[in-house]
A and B are shown apart, each in its own frame.
Chain A
Amino acid sequence: MQNIINILDKNGLIFAFLVVGVIMYLSFLIGKKVTNNKIPAAAIAISFGLFIAYFGKGEKGIASIPAFSGMALLGGSMLRDFSIVSTAMGASFSEIKKAGLAGVISIVLGIVIAFFVGGVIAYFMGFTDAKSLTTIGAGACTFIVGPVTGAAVGASSEVIAISIAIGVIKSVFVTIATPIIASKIQLNNPHTAMVYGGMLSTTSGVSAGLAATDMKLVPYGALTATFSTGMGCLLCPSILYYIVQQFI
């Protein structure tokens, strides 16, 4: 037994690949069999991650257990930001022109509104420092923008965890609510799908929500949502953080 643990300790990153692979597999299975693909597997997997973090001791979640230390490397800021940047391959400026003015406005407004609504609520619920408010506001954009912003401004691990949770709840909420209210917001054409993707930013939620509404609309919403996520990573830790600092 001790031998096995020694090997896992020494090969932390490789063991992390295995652990995350198993989590992803189980999440897809649960997503398919239990929720009938109604909840995005990504949201289930991230919730799974937050859940196992609970069993660690303190600041570093599961990585506080030596065998799982590689999780901190795989999920550390370097690999995280690197893989997030790569998702920009799903976006293209020549494509975004088709979204027109409404699309561009939705990309910026989706971030700014989610950020300030999130920040104001957090303020009234007892968070008072600029770093925490900025991170929580960023979490209201997506579960990517939250931790990217939190790491950039130096927020605490606890607040970053809250920002991830906000993003995950948003993703699930968007997925479930979209098919229900699609007809009320006239979400039945590519133009509205692009505005919808920009306003809601969460690529996983937008893709799953549109898939449940009308498969043909998925690429339109996913495109602006990807742009919106990038816009969030750009604006939240910079201009929006600066504005929050002026108020606090």
Chain B
Amino acid sequence: MKIYGVAILAACYLVGQFIGDWFGRVFEMSGNLGGVGFAMILLILLNDYLNKKKLLVPETEQGILFWSSMYIPVIVAMSATQNVKAALTGGWVALIVAITATSVCFLLIPLIAKINRIKN
């Protein structure tokens, strides 16, 4: 049943939120510290484990994959509900940050790609 997949996803999400919230309180910082990231790691681990045990039937997987195909539409809805009018003044910041940060990452690719080759 697809709902099993949705339930697995929900469990990972909630545990992730709980861990993120717990870290937030431990480090006395406002908000949820990396809850989404923890949930993703949990889902990857669970997915690997269930696949190894051959417990993840395609039908269950479909329940999770449906939501992963919804993520761009959800991001579109989120974009449409932001304070874009006020953000327009930051348009130049967006352009400069995006191009500069991305260019630096591009330049480092050949250097990092060498790491394994040297070892080998």
- Nearest B-chain residue to A100, judged by Cβ: B116
* Residue among B10, B47, B104, B105 with max Cβ neighbours from chain A (10 Å): B105
In the complex, the answer to whether A91 meets B34 with C-beta atoms within 8 Å is: no
- Nearest A-chain residue to B104, judged by Cβ: A117
Contact of A81 among B23, B36, B117 (CB under 8 A): B36
Confirm or deny: B4 has a beta carbon within 8 angstroms of a beta carbon on chain A: no
How far does the alpha carbon of A69 sit from the alpha carbon of B66 in the complex, in Å?
24
With a cutoff of 8 Å between Cβ atoms, the chain A residues found around residue B32 in the complex are: 152, 237
In the complex, the answer to whether A187 meets B109 with C-beta atoms within 8 Å is: yes
- State the main secondary structure of chain B at its contact with A: helix
Contact code string B71-91 (vs A, CB < 8 Å = 1, else 0): 111111111111111111011
In the complex, the answer to whether B70 meets A200 with C-beta atoms within 8 Å is: no
Confirm or deny: B44 has a beta carbon within 8 angstroms of a beta carbon on chain A: yes
With a cutoff of 8 Å between Cβ atoms, the chain A residues found around residue B119 in the complex are: 101
Confirm or deny: B58 has a beta carbon within 8 angstroms of a beta carbon on chain A: no
Scan residues 222-248 of chain A and give those whose CB is less than 8 A from a CB of chain B.
230-238, 241-242, 245
* Residue among A46, A88, A122 with max Cβ neighbours from chain B (10 Å): A88
User: Given contacts A49-B80, A161-B87, are A136 and B27 in contact (CB under 8 A)?
Assistant: no
In the complex, the answer to whether B82 meets A199 with C-beta atoms within 8 Å is: no
Mind listing 17 A-B residue pairs with CB under 8 Å?
A: A47-B79, A61-B83, A71-B81, A74-B74, A86-B9, A88-B39, A92-B48, A92-B51, A118-B101, A125-B92, A125-B93, A165-B90, A191-B113, A195-B113, A230-B44, A233-B36, A235-B37
The 3 closest A-B pairs by CB, nearest first: A234-B37, A75-B77, A49-B79
- Taking Cβ atoms with an 8 Å cutoff, the residues of A that contact B are 16, 19-21, 23-24, 42, 45-54, 56, 58-63, 68, 71-72, 74-76, 79-94, 100-102, 105-106, 109-110, 113-114, 117-118, 121-122, 125, 127, 136, 139-140, 143-144, 147-148, 152-154, 156-162, 164-167, 169-170, 173-174, 177, 181, 185-187, 191-192, 195-196, 199-200, 204, 230-238, 241-242, 245
